[in-house]
């Protein structure tokens, strides 16, 4: 049996069945590219069509979201939820509100979520959702009306034993609050476990806000420790300035590194003395302004409009903004400037061409399904607390997060070693996650 030919044929069929979904195709190709040696050991997976079954969502829901702005104008957005795989537990994955949201992006995110969730070792399946709504520039009242309309349809498809959404780009604690309130109103029940990322005072978990960024920094530290180093004393660049980037910066500083640059869609700032994370929090989370404001308040910093943040020399890079932000030319510059490690804080921020450059140069690489799994892991911990009507301390929650991230790195490294790819955490993450889901699907029969 020619395994490569079989996998290529499966991929071609997936592309044909899902036209004009480039991000989804890319995510599938990345996983399938690691599975050759796995399928060689488990040829029964081909006979049982495990790859085809994992690559086809169990359910795709698309719906209309009508709402009215403060001036009385009616708007119509499109909402969706892709419930991809429930072999390990209820569907789990965030909601993204952004103009770029379409089925291809949601399916790519949901597909990645299957394996990311499996790597956490928690009993959660994979899903994703969102809408092509942009909360930027909208009043709280407009965001509330949109969220209420969105949940008026979504509520019938979710539940603590069915599908548990969380936040993603454009969906923070404000949006989760409005969504939860509408769910509670419609169902006449206080079902805390139906959404994660809630406020601490009404069922939320400590460290959930920080978890994705903290987890990415911890994973990067583990990558460096595996070769005898650490983040301590390292120069780091973090793209983005949203939730993930902010708390990645904070944790890097706690671990002894220095983050010298971060960005938003307008450009990036450089502060060689180390990014003042409290100022970034104030600018982005309180004032909701552009990152350029930082340079106006810090004499030692400077702002670069547009351009590429990857021009800034660093030893560690944490792409934490959005998909495909780190391209081939960026990877070439990182290598030239002596970058030692890249860990993905965002979902699939590195293009395939850039990944090839980094791997050829022996740059340690942590794929997003492993490196940014801290957010969903802590969401699962929030579900545990909701189920037991409990609330854990920040210290205990952070300790659990650290244990999970260290274990994810260990699993990826050991699987890569076992499958003849020592040090290749992409192979380790893909094969480890795939095997766990495939084994569960086999146990459940042909469904």
Active-site residue list: 128
Q: Is 167 annotated as a binding residue?
A: yes
Q: Is 379 annotated as a binding residue?
A: yes
Write the burial class of residue 324 (CB in 10 Å: 0-12 exposed, 13-18 middle, 19+ buried): middle
Q: Is 436 annotated as a binding residue?
A: no
Q: Rounded CA gap, 273 and 178, in Å?
A: 39
Q: Is 184 annotated as a binding residue?
A: no
Rounded to the nearest 10 degrees, the angle between the axes of helix 211-225 and helix 374-387 is: 130
Report the candidate in 174, 168, 165, 142 with the shortest Cα–Cα distance to residue 65. Answer: 142
Q: Is 243 annotated as a binding residue?
A: yes
Give CA angle at 254 (249, 259), nearest 5°: 35
Three-state SS for 38?
Answer: helix
Place of tokens 């607390």: 385
Q: Is 397 annotated as a binding residue?
A: no
Q: Is 388 annotated as a binding residue?
A: no
Q: Rounded CA gap, 343 and 364, in Å?
A: 8
Q: Rounded CA gap, 215 and 19, in Å?
A: 34
Q: Which residues contact 419 (CB under 8 A, 6 or more apart)?
A: 37, 38, 427, 428, 431
Q: Rounded CA gap, 146 and 151, in Å?
A: 9
DSSP H or E segment with residue 84: strand 74-85
Q: Rounded CA gap, 298 and 275, in Å?
A: 10
Binding site for NAD(+): residue ranges? 212, 243
Mark the binding-site residues, compressed into ranges: 92, 113, 116, 167, 212, 243, 379
Q: Which amino acids are annotated as binding site for substrate, given as ranges?
A: 92, 113, 116, 167, 379
């Amino acid at each position: 049996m020619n395994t490569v030919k079989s996998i290529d044929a499966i991929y071609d069929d997936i592309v044909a069945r899902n036209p004009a979904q480039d991000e989804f195709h890319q995510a599938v190709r990345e996983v399938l590219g690691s599975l050759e040696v796995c399928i060689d050991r488990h040829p029964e997976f081909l006979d049982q069509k495990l790859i085809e079954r994992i690559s086809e969502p169990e359910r795709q829901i698309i719906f209309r979201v009508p709402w009215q702005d403060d001036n009385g104008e009616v708007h119509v957005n499109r909402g969706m939820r892709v419930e991809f795989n429930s072999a390990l537990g209820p569907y789990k994955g965030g909601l993204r509100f952004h103009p770029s949201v379409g089925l291809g992006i949601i399916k790519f995110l949901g597909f990645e979520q299957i394996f990311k969730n499996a790597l956490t070792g928690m009993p959660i399946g994979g899903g994703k959702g969102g809408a092509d709504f942009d909360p930027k520039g909208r009043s709280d009242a407009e965001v509330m009306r949109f969220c209420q309309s969105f949940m008026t349809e979504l509520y019938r498809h979710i539940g603590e034993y069915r599908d548990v959404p969380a936040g993603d780009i454009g969906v923070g604690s404000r949006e989760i609050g409005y969504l939860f309130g509408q769910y509670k109103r419609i169902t006449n029940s206080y079902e805390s476990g139906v959404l994660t990322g809630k406020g601490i005072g009404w069922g939320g978990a400590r460290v959930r806000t920080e978890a994705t960024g903290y987890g990415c920094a911890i994973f990067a530290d583990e990558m460096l420790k595996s070769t005898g180093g650490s983040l301590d004393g390292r120069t780091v660049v973090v793209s983005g300035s949203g939730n993930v980037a902010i708390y990645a910066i904070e944790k890097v500083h706690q671990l002894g590194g220095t983050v010298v640059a971060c960005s938003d869609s307008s450009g990036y700032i450089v502060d060689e003395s180390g990014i003042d994370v409290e100022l970034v929090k104030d600018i982005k989370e309180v004032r909701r302004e552009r990152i350029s404001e930082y340079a106006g308040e810090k004499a030692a910093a400077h702002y670069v409009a547009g351009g590429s943040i990857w021009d800034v020399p660093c030893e560690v890079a944490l792409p934490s903004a959005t998909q495909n932000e780190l391209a081939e030319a960026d990877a070439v510059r990182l290598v030239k400037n002596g970058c030692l490690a890249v860990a993905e804080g965002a979902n699939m921020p590195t293009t395939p061409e850039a990944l090839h450059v980094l791997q050829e140069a022996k740059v340690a690489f942590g794929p997003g399904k492993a490196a940014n799994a801290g957010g969903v892991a802590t969401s699962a911990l929030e579900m545990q607390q909701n189920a037991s009507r409990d609330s854990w301390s920040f210290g205990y929650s952070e300790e659990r997060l650290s244990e999970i991230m260290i274990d994810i790195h260990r699993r990826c490294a050991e699987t890569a070693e076992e499958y003849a790819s020592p040090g290749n955490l992409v192979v380790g993450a893909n094969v480890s996650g795939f095997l766990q889901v495939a084994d569960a699907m086999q146990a459940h029969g042909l469904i």
